[in-house]
Copies of this chain bind each other. A is one copy, B any other.
Amino acid sequence: MKMRQLTIRLLQVYAEVIRSGSVSATARRLHLTQPTVSQQLRRLREIVGEPIVESEAGRILPTEVGQALYQLSQDLLSRADAFGQYLDAYREGERGHFSIALVNTAQYVLPRLLGPFSQAYPDVDVTVEIGNRQQLLHRFERHEDDLYVFSHPPDDDAVLAAPFLSNPLVVVAPRRSPWVDAGQLTMETLKSERFLLREPGSATRHLFDGWLQSRGIQLDSTLQIASNEAIRVAVGSGMGLAVLSRHVLTEAQTDTVILPVEGFPLRSHWQFIVRRERHLPPAAQRFLTFAQSVLAREFEEAEGEAAIAELLARIS
């Protein structure tokens, strides 16, 4: 059997001939001429090397080999078809996979996008990577992920960025701190307090350091802690002050207070970052589209929605 020349097309035609029991009917249905179908049948017979049909009482019937061939055709066609459907779903982003890498801070908001997304698209498989800015930059260098969330884009002109959600950094104090209810403050006033800070690789730290530097302020006493959550708890228990994303604090937490410090909150944004040249998996695009609608509806972040729209436009 000259299997290599077997085509899906040939099997489609054959299956139709067997189903209809007629060459002419097949030709009509497939918008071909009758001789074309006859010849396809002949070619198929040559490929198989045995008679596959015989005509009996005006109908075309498969021979024994023909019946096996028909089964084969049904089998192959249905599988090819299933693949076609998979492809469609993949293209629509309704199925498939993408990976997204988040800076630590974003852990507090991204679930509010990813959760509903997974609900809505259960066949999309999302890999979430979490790390500090440094780690993420490393991954970014190596093209390891489809999508990144930074609060400050990498310094690479091949990136497209969409600031989708504001990420205000606030000064946090224990509830019993003397600064609570002391009215408007300045950082100058607070600089001798102990500050609990993230490690230098972190975006929060980076932004705060830059701000301090621009003001020419030097903190007297700092303590480095690698986790936002740990910092929040430490502040709550009176270990010092901290600068944290407001999203790290939830309303239920009554052991910490946000201090009104001049210049604060520091403005920053979470941004979706993609490489300009990267072919985004449809599922990732679908996620971005989904994020747009959630942001508009639940976060009232029209700017974020617009930023994503622009990013999507630049990709395609």
Q: Which residues of A does B touch, CB under 8 Å?
A: 1, 3-9, 12, 48-51, 64-65, 68-69, 72, 75-76, 79-81, 83-84, 86-87, 90-91, 96-97, 279, 281
Contacts and interface: CB of A to CB of B under 8 A. Distances in A.
A12 B4 contact: yes
A85 to B, nearest CB: 10
6 contacts: A1-B87, A6-B8, A48-B87, A51-B279, A64-B281, A68-B86
A49 B83 CA distance: 12
A97 B50 contact: no
A48 B86 CA distance: 11
B4 A9 contact: yes
A9 B80 CA distance: 15
Top 4 closest pairs, chain A to chain B, by CB: A4-B9, A6-B8, A72-B83, A7-B7
A7 B279 CA distance: 28
Given A3-B81, A68-B90, 12 more contacts: A1-B84, A3-B8, A5-B9, A6-B8, A7-B7, A49-B87, A64-B90, A64-B97, A72-B83, A76-B76, A76-B80, A79-B79
Contacts of A1: 83-84, 87
A79 B76 contact: yes
Contacts of A86: 68
A51 B75 CA distance: 26
A8 B12 contact: no
A142 B80 CA distance: 41
Nearest to A76: B76
